[in-house]
Amino acid sequence: MALLIEAEHLYRYYGKHCAVNDVSFTLTKGNVLGFLGPNGAGKTTTMQMLCGVLAPSSGAIKINGFDLSEQPLSAKRHLGYLPDTPPLYRELTVYEFLAYCAQLHGLAPKNIRQAIDDAQQRCGLATVTKRLIGNLSKGFQQRVGIAQAILHNPDVIILDEPTVGLDPLQISEIRALIRELGQDHGVILSTHRLSEVQESCTQVQIIHQGQLILNESIDVLKQMMDTGIVEVATRLAPDTGLLAAIPGVTFLENLAGNRVRIHYSVTDNPTQRITETIIAAGWELHELAPVKKSMEDIFITLIRDNES
């Protein structure tokens, strides 16, 4: 399958500060890539470099085979971009705004009406086409922002935090739209929400302090979630050093009230050894319960391992 994005060894410096540090990845048609990281990790800087808004300090970007630095106009014709703050004109109707955007994208006049109709249909805007953008809900305004990004039917669609500020129903609707767009395009979704990645994406990349610390399919990430967590409660304060030394235990979290959350490898489940250790030490086991591991746990673990 043809590569839609090839990003190779991207760096971006602001003075002496390295905001993006040797980031490389690819994107193919039919994939939704979740670009995930905490605020300030380098997500938006990377998105701006991919869109040609910001030049990398070094590295190369190709969009559908066109080098973004050497053939910027050709590369950007294959690109649709929704920044974290949608560039909307509130005093225009939805149709007027999309007609203006169609001209900016260089669509032939004879094709503009059909392009607008198609974008409005895909984004669920047909019923509000004559309404002023300023009178629309936040959810509909996000849909207008996505519509302008897909108006020229680009191969690559980049969405920077597309569900920020939306209510749960609006978030669900935008996620469904992103999944639908991912069937015919290559989509990059920048977010700091793990649930967003889990619901919408086929691949996930995690960036932290400007560096990629994970680049996997969503299926591999879900397999990582199968690592085990057990929470134990004892009457007497346990010796966490003794628990941490049990084979199979990866790390501990001390909780309030003589409670400890124990992370372990499922290939070497230490639950029985944990129970035996607590009983032998006389701490009096009050509770031992498994904990469902979330994507947030994976995220925190990866960041902690990267910092250690």
Whether residue 136 is found in the same domain as residue 56: yes
For residue 308, tell me if it sits in a domain.
no
pLDDT, averaged per 10 consecutive residues of the chain (308 residues), comes to 90 95 95 88 92 95 95 94 90 98 95 97 94 95 94 94 86 90 93 83 92 88 74 95 93 92 85 95 94 67 65
Give the model's pLDDT for residue 167. 86
- Evaluated on CA atoms 204, 143, 54, 79, the torsion sign reads positive
Give the model's pLDDT for residue 86. 86
Residue 189 CA to its chain's centroid (Å): 5
| Number of domains within the chain | 2
Give the model's pLDDT for residue 195. 78
Give the model's pLDDT for residue 307. 64
> How far apart (Å, rounded) are the C-alpha atoms in residues 56 and 135?
38
The CATH number of the domain where 219 resides is what? 3.40.50.300
For residue 305, tell me if it sits in a domain.
no
For residue 22, tell me if it sits in a domain.
yes
Whether residue 248 is found in the same domain as residue 218: no
For residue 25, tell me if it sits in a domain.
yes
Whether residue 123 is found in the same domain as residue 252: no
Give the model's pLDDT for residue 38. 80
Q: What is the pTM of this model?
A: 0.76
Whether residue 193 is found in the same domain as residue 234: no
Positions of E strands within the chain: 3-14, 17-28, 32-36, 58-63, 66-67, 79-82, 156-160, 186-191, 203-208, 211-217, 228-234, 249-255, 259-264, 285-291
Q: Give the strands of the sheet with 66-67, arranged side by side.
A: 17-28, 3-14, 58-63, 66-67
For residue 300, tell me if it sits in a domain.
no
pLDDT in tens, 128-139: 999 999 999 989
Whether residue 160 is found in the same domain as residue 14: yes
Whether residue 153 is found in the same domain as residue 204: yes
